[in-house]
Chain A
Amino acid sequence: MVELTAQTPWAALLPVTAGATGLSAWDPGPMTALMPYRGRRAALSEAMQAAHGLGFPDPGEVTAAPPLRCLWTGRGQAFLMGGPADPGLSAQAALVDQSDGWVALRLEGETAPEVLARLVPVDLRPAALPEGRTLRTLCGHMTVSITRAPEGLEILAFRSMAGTLVHEIADAMRLVAGRAVLG
Chain B
Amino acid sequence: MRLSCPLCGERDRREFTYQGAAAMVDRPAPGATTEQWSDWLHLRDNPAGRTRDLWYHEAGCGAWLVVERDTVTHEIFGTALVGGDHAD
Residues of A at the B interface (CB closer than 8 Å) are 36, 38-39, 41, 59-60, 74-77, 121-122, 135-138, 143
Contact A137 B11 (CB under 8 A): yes
Which B residues lie within 8 Å of A60 (CB)?
7-8
Task: Knowing A138-B14, A138-B15 are in contact, say whether A143-B87 is a contact too (CB < 8 A).
Answer: no
Which B residues lie within 8 Å of A36 (CB)?
87
| CB pairs A–B below 8 angstroms (14 shown) | A38-B87, A59-B7, A59-B8, A74-B63, A75-B62, A75-B63, A75-B81, A121-B11, A121-B15, A136-B8, A137-B60, A138-B14, A143-B58, A143-B59
B27-56 interface with A by 8 A CB criterion: none
Contact B7 A75 (CB under 8 A): yes
Q: Which residue of B lies closest to A121 (CB)?
A: B12
Which B residues lie within 8 Å of A76 (CB)?
87-88
- Closest Cβ of chain B to A89, distance in Å, is 16
Q: Which residue of B lies closest to A35 (CB)?
A: B87
**Complex Cα spacing A136 to B87, Å:** 17
Binary contact track B69-88/A, C-beta < 8 Å → 1, others 0? 00000000000010000111
Contact B62 A77 (CB under 8 A): yes
Residues of B at the A interface (CB closer than 8 Å) are 7-8, 11-12, 14-15, 58-63, 81, 86-88
Contact A75 B11 (CB under 8 A): no
Which A residues lie within 8 Å of B87 (CB)?
36, 38, 41, 75-76
Give the top 9 A-B pairs by smallest Cβ distance, nearest first: A76-B87, A121-B12, A75-B63, A74-B62, A59-B7, A138-B59, A74-B61, A75-B61, A136-B60
Which B residues lie within 8 Å of A143 (CB)?
58-59
Question: A-B pairs with CB below 8 Å: how many?
Answer: 49
Contact A137 B59 (CB under 8 A): yes
**Complex Cα spacing A76 to B15, Å:** 18
**Most chain-B Cβ atoms within 10 A of its Cβ — which of A59, A76, A135, A136?**
A136
- Closest Cβ of chain A to B25, distance in Å, is 15
Which A residues lie within 8 Å of B81 (CB)?
75
**Complex Cα spacing A136 to B11, Å:** 11
Which B residues lie within 8 Å of A74 (CB)?
60-63
Contact A59 B86 (CB under 8 A): no
**Complex Cα spacing A122 to B10, Å:** 9
**Most chain-B Cβ atoms within 10 A of its Cβ — which of A36, A60, A138?**
A138
Task: Knowing A60-B8, A137-B11 are in contact, say whether A38-B86 is a contact too (CB < 8 A).
Answer: yes
